[in-house]
Amino acid sequence: MRTALCSGSFDPITLGHLDVIRRAAACFDRVVVCVSPNAEKRSQMFTPEQKLLLVRAAVAELPNVEAELWPGLLADFAAAYGASVIVRGVRNVTDFDAEYQMALINRGICPGLETMLLPAGQEYQHFSSSMAREMIRYRQPLERYLPGPVIPLVEELAEKEGGSNHGQ
Residues forming the active site: 17, 41, 91, 129
Separation between Cα atoms, residue 126 and residue 120, nearest integer Å = 9
- How many angstroms separate the first and last alpha carbons of the chain? 41
Distances (CA, A) of 42 to 46, 48, 105, 153: 12, 13, 23, 22
Cβ atoms of 45 and 165 within 8 Å: the answer is yes
